[in-house]
Structure 1
Amino acid sequence: MDKAFMLYQGIQKVGFSPNITTHTILINELFKNSKVLEAYKLFREMELDPDKVAYTSMINGLCKKGYVSEASKLFEEVPAKVRSVDTYSCLIDGFCKKGPIDEAEMLLGEMRKQNVSPDVKTFNIMIYGYKRRGQLDLAYKMFNEMIDEAILPDDVIYKTLGLRQLDKNQMSNKMEFAKPNQ
């Protein structure tokens, strides 16, 4: 990481401007090394407009390090057109692990209102969050919503809920049934 920052500073000294990808890589490395303040400072000092990857990296890093409130504040700055399923899922994960799960539920609702569809990862996060709190009824309800939305569960979800996987034909039939009429 030290060499990466030396190179980063070196290219700036010779007049080159690092792009958003370079900044995002460095931000991710700072979070991996638990340098949260340095990551936040680098993000704020960028002379470029952050893209969805940069915002998602910041929100994910802040949540993983326990700064869910700060991640939530940063999320509010993210333009709606830049928010992705990954951006939402990172903050939902933060709320499920270190914050009130009702915040995660509200965020999931907002996500849907903004026409951003939850994916298998989003459902996995919510199901695990409910199970962790002993709210198995809500975990199973979320599982059924997932099926209703024609999203195929992964192995992690089955293990989280302690379910046997349905064979592919059963799941395919259930998924076909769940698809909206066209």
Structure 2
Amino acid sequence: TYTTLINAYCVEGDVKRALHLHDEMIEKGFLPDVVTYNVLINGLSRQARTREAKQLLFKMFYEESVPIDVTYNTLIENCCDIEFKSAVALIKGFCMKGLMNEADRVFESMLQRNCIPSEAVYNVIIHGHCRGGNLRKAFKLYKEMVQSSFVPHTVTVIALIEELFKEGMSEGLNEVIKNTLRSCRLTDAELAKVLVEINHKEGNMDAVFKVLTEMANDGLLPNSGKTSYAGG
């Protein structure tokens, strides 16, 4: 098969011919699977061609050329041997496709190999779990993120707050709101709007007043054109 031949060339160090075969198989209508990509990525990585390895990772996920139901085991097992940024790209790709078990395995693999997750990694995987309905996992990762002194992105905070409110997890909701008000200025109109609405629904008027005060300080006055709020 093409993958067998590509692997043979990579083992011999002839990545150029391996890539040529990859192009040839596509031209003949044979779609590379995750094993083919794994072989090529490892071959490129052994020659320190990490930029091309990352390009293949993005190609695999963003061009939809690889079926989402294939087994990603070999790619996950080797992801941290490629490069930290490539492992991050892999997590983003899995989250984008809703493959959160696979994203978690890459994340755990990074930890086991002493690859410290970045702020961006935490934001991506937390948001992915919120979208996937695994709120407890998302909240657990959020707490780890905050303990590591990382600041959650606005999109991450909004997703968490909305899901925690929807699921009635008041304790977690209050923790996220308090952390948000304590750790950053309200420079994002959408986040400010969500904080006001959720606190108002929770009957937490002290928090509503605090958010409105922060909004005023940051130029996000209600009905100013940047955001609006109508109390009930």
Q: Same fold (TM over 0.5)?
A: yes
Kindly provide the CA deviation profile for residues 79-135 of structure 1, in whole angstroms up to 9, marking residues without a partner as x.
Answer: 34431011111111111111320111111122234x24123343233224335x364
Kept in 2, the 8 Å contact 1:30–1:39? The answer is no
- Note if 1:24 corresponds to 2:24: no
Which residue, 65, 86, 93 being the options, matches 1:54? 86
Q: Of the candidates 1, 12, 16, which is equivalent to residue 13 of structure 1?
A: 16
Do the aligned partners of 1:96 and 1:104 also contact (CA within 8 Å) in 2?
yes
Gaps of 5+ in 2: 1-9, 19-43, 198-211, 221-232
Aligned pairs (5 A) from 1:39-50? 40=72, 43=75, 49-50=81-82
2:118 is matched with 84
Q: Distance in 1 between the 2:163 and 2:103 partners?
A: 18
CA distance in 2, matches of 1:48, 1:20: 12
Matching of residue 167 in structure 1 with residue 216 in structure 2: yes
Q: Which has the larger radius of gyration?
A: 2
Residue 186 of structure 2 corresponds to residue 156 of structure 1: no
Whether the 8 Å CA contact 2:123–2:153 is kept in 1: the answer is: no
Cα distance, 1:160 vs. partner?
4.2
Change (3 A) 1:32 1:162: farther
Across the two proteins, how many residue pairs are aligned to each other?
Answer: 160
1:39-78 superposed Cα distances (whole Å, 9 cap, x missing partner): 9478459698233321221112112211111111211001
State the one-letter code of the partner of 2:161. Answer: I
Extract unaligned runs of 5+ from structure 1: 1-8, 172-182
2:52 corresponds to which letter in structure 1? T
Structure 1 runs (4+) deviating above 6 angstroms are: 45-48
State the match for 2:160 in structure 1: 126
Distance, in Å, in 1 between the alignment partners of 2:142 and 2:53 is 29
TM-score normalised by length of structure 1? 0.66
* RMSD between aligned residues: 3.7
Deviation per CA, 1:3-46, whole angstroms, max 9, x where unpaired? xxxxxx9x822697362232222212221123247894784596
Equivalent residue of 1:117, what SS? coil
Name the aligned partner's letter for residue 87 of structure 1: V
Q: Shift of residue 153 of structure 1?
A: 4.7
Which segment drifts farther, 19-28 or 101-110?
19-28
- Cα distance, 1:158–1:47 mapped onto 2, change above 3 Å: closer
Q: Which amino acid aligns with 1:75?
A: F
